[in-house]
Structure formats: structure tokens, C-alpha cells
Chains A and B, each alone.
Chain A
Amino acid sequence: MLVTILDIVIAGLLLGGLYALIAMGLSLQYGVARVLNISHGEFIMLGGLTTWTITKSLGINPFVSLVICGPVAFILGYIIHQTLFKRLYSISASPSVFESSSMLASFGLMFIIQNIALLAWGPEIRGYSYLAFPVHIAGTLFGANRLVTTGFAIVIGVGFYLFLARTRTGKAVRAAAQDPTTAGLMGVNINRVLALCFGLGAAMAGIAGMLISMCYPVHAVMGMPYTIIAIVVVALGGMGSIPGSFIGGFALGLIGSIVTHFEPGLALVAYYLIFILLLLLKPTGIMGK
């Protein structure tokens, strides 16, 4: 009995860690840069497939690809923001117009990135084995890779939270999220912060992809379900609140694990039911304004 609970909890933490990571990434992009990035899942996919290539084809430890996935995704996100979204902002008549058109643009981005991935990797499902040996904890077996991934996700999440709370750049980011105009007036280089946040969000997606690839198979069209989950978590956590996304991610992961234990295949349905409940009761989310 206790073993089952532990199993569920740890599985939930693993899922939650991943969810928290991808949700925080999206939260940065929506909360600060005001882009509801529908192509978020594609960055996750890119991270996963890149890691696969590095690990499988070059025989290198997947953690090495962390050094590649993170920064490359960051640069990609930064460039995309500076070229596409900055341009879009300057031609948008109002912030709400920008929100719609940037979302639609990210939609186009999704098509483009997915197609490029299909060209580069083909539609086949790819997987590799790493740290797949079992570890004994309190009488149950857990894959070492899953434990490592969870630990990693938590470390990154907490580290990022501290970055936001303690560092100067982090505080600039939070200020920009709260009130871009005032932050700009107070000397924060708003444009740089927006691009930085977008890039950071993409980086988190890339890293999440790498972590996912360690535990699950990856393929070119895996992105959308993750995007949806990220969006639901962001909404649950309060549309742009990064701590909210962190907590929401773990909450959802835990719920997903519990539901999957009793009724596999209903996890997404459960997420949606919670989403509906939240919309009815507290539309601003767990930590919303």
C-alpha cells in the first residue's frame, strides 16, 4: 500500500518536474513578452531530438547535450523574438492586438519548426537508453533516469526561482512582467528583457526536451500535447506567474500520476476537468492577480 503511494508520488514528481519546467518556460514568454507561444512544444521536441542525435549518433552522454540544447534554444528564441515578435509589436495597434497576432504567428512558427524537424529527423519515433537501470527506494524500483530527471527539473526550477527573486536581472524580469511601461521608465531595458525572457523560455523548453528524451521516446510531432499541458498549467498557475507555474506543474503532475494509476488514458481529461473547475471558481488561477 505504502509502496503504491510512494510509486504514485514519485511518478507524479517526475511528471510534475517536467510540467513545471515547461510551464515556467511558457510563463516567461507569456507573462513578460506577452506571447502565447503555441510553438513551445516544438522547442521541447527539438531539445529531445537533438539530444537523441548527440547521444545515439555521437555516443556522447546526454547530459553533455544540456550544454548544447539550453544555449542553442536560448539563442534561437532570442533571435526569433528580435526578428518576428519585436516587429509584430511595432505594427500592432494595441497590446491585445499584439497578443492575438503574436499567438497566431507562433502558430505559423509551429508549422515551420515541425516541418524542419520532419525533414531533419523523419517521422519515426526515436529513443535511446541511458541510466535505464533500476534503483531501489523504499522497496520499489524506479528507473535511475527518471530520478535523475526529476532531480534536475527541481534543481532548475528552484534555481530559476532564486534567480528571479535574488538577482538584479531577475528583479528586472519580474518588474517587466508586472508593468512593462513603468519598468521601462525606471531604467530597465525593456526590449532586452523581453527577448531575454523569450529566449530563456525557449531554453527551458529545450532542456525539458532533453530530460524527456532520457525517459521517453521522442519524435517530430510530439510537441503539441506538451504545449497544451504547458498552457493549462500556466492558466492554472495564474497566467504569467512563474511561482504559480512551478506549483501548478507539480500539482498537475501529481494529479496525472494518480489518475493514470486508476484509469490510464484519462490523465488529460482530468487536467481539463480541473481546468474547467478553476475557470468556474477562480478564473485568475492559483496565484493569479
Chain B
Amino acid sequence: MNWSKLELRKARTPGVLLIFLILLATLTLYASPYTVIFVTSIFMYIILTVSWVIFSGPTGYISFAPAAFFGVGIYTSAILGTELPLPIVILTGGVISFILALFVGALTLRLKGVYFTIFTLGLVELSKHLLLWYEIKFTGTRGRFVVLVDNTTIYYILFIILVLLLLTSYLIRRSKYGLALRSIGESEEASAHTGVNVNLLKTFTFALSAVFMGATGAIMATRWTYVDPYIAFNLQYSFMPVLMSIFGGMGQLYGPVLGAVIFTMLEEKLITEFPYYYMLTIGLILLIVIIYLPDGLVGLIQKWQNRSPEKQHVTP
């Protein structure tokens, strides 16, 4: 599947978007199993990236927690997968992530942003160590087996989560809460003085973003069949969304989507052809984007289109 950047941009118009969605919805009917699996990976990264942007985009609070929530979802699946039906398991993964995020948010979001970032960075390592200790001490085994689910089901579940997520993100951006979130990113003090319950909004939005990450973890676990704390709590799943969001740009909804799609395809290409230079390339791209393209691809595209970015923000 080789969608060029241009086509993805045009896909914003409703008609084309609908066709695109239908094509994706029916993918399993006409595409090869490899393609289905590949697109599933793309969906996973889009979900992680877009949900990361829901909170970290407007507020500017950089979170490294996605891997933690993703891991929580994975382990939920591992533990409950044999006991409960799949939809419940996925929902539970989302709910537990929500609760964890509420706790983390309530604790760290009332302080300076850097504390939040630091805490989320260590949260993944912490979860890994805690689980590892627990497994060694109490269950005696390391890791668990996960219930097997076929690739078609995985694809559709992720597709549903993705659509729900995109809808949620779109609605938030256009609502008064999106406005409030952006104002928090501009000046938290002024926002609070304008009547916004800053702490509540931050914590809740952060928790909301975690739901999608947890749910995704729960379903992705079934693809791996065996998971242990190292597999489940892998910082890559925190680093990638951040990279993809910066690369794609966060000013528009399609930014993170674009970033995730391109990066996933880049990863695929690099890992097969230049596996030893993968991280180097990613790191260099990140540095280049931070210095020369601070608004990511979105900024670049808008410059080409000669539109000023803020016009997108104006509410009718």
C-alpha cells in the first residue's frame, strides 16, 4: 500500500474520507494477510500517537507514559484473556489504564510540567520492575501466555478503536474543552484565572487518552501470544508516539496520523534494509524536525498551502 502524502491530505474532504474508510473497513476481503498485519501495526501506532496528542498536543505536557498504559493493557489481556470474553478484556484494559492515569495525573499534573514528564518516563521502568518482582516472587514464572485471536478480528477491533479515537479527538478539538486545553498550553495561570478548572481538565484528558492506549495494548497482546514484563513495558511504545507527533505536527488532526503512517512505513523499510542504522536515522530526523520544522509536516503543508495555521482554530 503506497499512499503518497498528497493523497492523504486530500483525504480530508468528507467524500474521499468516506471512500477511504470503506476501503479500510473491507481490507481483509481483498488484501494479503501480510498487508492486513502491516496495516494493523500502522493502526496501532496511529492510535498511540493520536491519543498521545489529545493531551500532550494542546497542553504541552510531554508524557512518556504511553508504554505504561499499553503495557497495562497487554497484561490485562494476559491475565484475564482466558477468563473473560474479548470485548470485556479490552474494555478492562482501557479502564485500568484510565484509573492509573488518573492517579498519575492527580499526583503530578498539579506541579511543574517537568515533574510530570520525569514521572511518566520512569513509570514504564517502574511498572516493568514491579511486575518482574511480583512474578519472580509470587507466580514463580516469568511472563504469561495470551489467548490467541485471529488476525482479522484483531484488525477490526483496532479499526473500531481507531475510528472511535479519531472521532473523540475531532470532537475535543472543536469543542470548548479543546479551547480550554489549548489555553492551558499557552498560559496555565491565565487559563485558571479565566475560569478553567485546569487541574481537573488536565487530569481527565490525560486519563481519557490512556483509555485508548490500554485498550490497544489489550488487543495487541493477542498477537504476540507470549508476553513478559520486558515485552509489555517497552519504552519504544512511548518514544515512537512522541517522535511521530513531532514529525507529523500537532496543529491539525491529520498531523499525528500522517506522522504515524510515514514513520511506520519508514521503520519497516529501515529495519529490513538498514537495520543497523535505524535508531540513528530516527534520532537525526527528530533533531532536524525540532530545529527546522517545529510544526512538523502540518506546518510544512500549511506553508505550502499558504494558509496561516491559526485560521484552523477560529470557532464559527
Residues of A within 8 A of B (CB): 36, 38, 84, 87-88, 91, 96, 99-101, 103-105, 107-112, 114-116, 118-119, 224-225, 228, 231-232, 235, 239, 263, 265-266, 268-269, 272, 275-276, 279-280, 283
Contacts and interface: CB of A to CB of B under 8 A. Distances in A.
B283 A110 contact: yes
Interface stretch (B13-21, B72-80, B116-124): B116-124
If over half of B's interface residues share one DSSP class (helix, strand or loop), that class is named, otherwise mixed; here it is helix
A213 B119 CA distance: 28
Contact of B125 (A105, A115, A225, A279): A225
B192 interface: no
B287 A84 contact: yes
A257 B151 CA distance: 47
Interface string B184-223: 0000000000000000000000000000000000000000
B242 A107 contact: yes
B34 interface: no
A286 to B, nearest CB: 14
B130 A235 contact: no
Contacts of B132: 265
A36 B290 contact: no
Contacts of B114: 36, 99, 239
B133 A88 contact: no
Given A100-B60, A279-B107, A265 B136 contact: yes
B22 interface: no
B257 interface: no
Interface in B270-301: 276-280, 282-287, 290-291, 294
A61 to B, nearest CB: 33
B134 to A, nearest CB: 9
Interface of B: 60, 62, 107-108, 111-115, 117-119, 121-122, 125-126, 129-130, 132-133, 136, 235, 239, 242, 246, 276-280, 282-287, 290-291, 294
Contact of B133 (A101, A109, A263): A263
B126 A115 contact: no
Given A88-B290, A104-B242, A279-B111, A266 B118 contact: no
B235 A224 contact: yes
Contacts of B239: 107, 111
If over half of A's interface residues share one DSSP class (helix, strand or loop), that class is named, otherwise mixed; here it is helix
B279 A111 contact: yes
Given A115-B279, A118-B276, A228 B129 contact: no
A116 B281 CA distance: 11
Contact of B115 (A112, A118, A235, A272): A235
A235 B117 CA distance: 11
Contacts of A84: 287, 291
B257 to A, nearest CB: 20
A119 B285 CA distance: 19
B129 A266 contact: yes
A235 B120 CA distance: 13
User: Taking each of A101, A263, A268, A280, which has the highest tally of chain B beta carbons within 10 Å of its own beta carbon?
Assistant: A268
A280 B107 contact: yes
Contacts of A272: 122, 126
Given A228-B121, A235-B118, A116 B280 contact: yes
A279 B276 contact: no
A54 B285 CA distance: 32
Contacts of A114: 279
A99 B290 CA distance: 12
B64 to A, nearest CB: 9
B292 to A, nearest CB: 9
A103 B62 contact: yes
B125 A109 contact: no
A224 B125 contact: yes
Sorted nearest first, the 10 A-B pairs with minimum C-beta distance are: A111-B283, A108-B286, A112-B283, A115-B280, A115-B279, A265-B133, A108-B283, A111-B279, A108-B287, A268-B129
A175 B133 CA distance: 44
Given A103-B62, A266-B129, A119 B276 contact: yes
A112 B288 CA distance: 12
A119 B275 CA distance: 11
Contacts of B279: 111-112, 114-115, 118
Contact of A100 (B62, B118, B285, B291): B62
A268 B126 contact: yes
A103 B286 CA distance: 12
Given A104-B246, A228-B121, 5 more contacts: A88-B291, A100-B113, A104-B286, A118-B279, A279-B115
A140 to B, nearest CB: 27
A232 B277 contact: no
B129 A115 contact: no
Nearest to B246: A104
B115 A283 contact: yes
A227 to B, nearest CB: 8
User: Taking each of B113, B132, B290, which has the highest tally of chain A beta carbons within 10 Å of its own beta carbon?
Assistant: B290
27 contacts: A36-B114, A36-B117, A38-B121, A91-B291, A100-B62, A101-B294, A103-B117, A104-B62, A105-B286, A107-B286, A108-B282, A108-B287, A109-B283, A111-B279, A111-B286, A112-B279, A115-B276, A118-B276, A119-B276, A224-B125, A228-B122, A265-B133, A266-B129, A275-B122, A279-B111, A280-B107, A283-B112
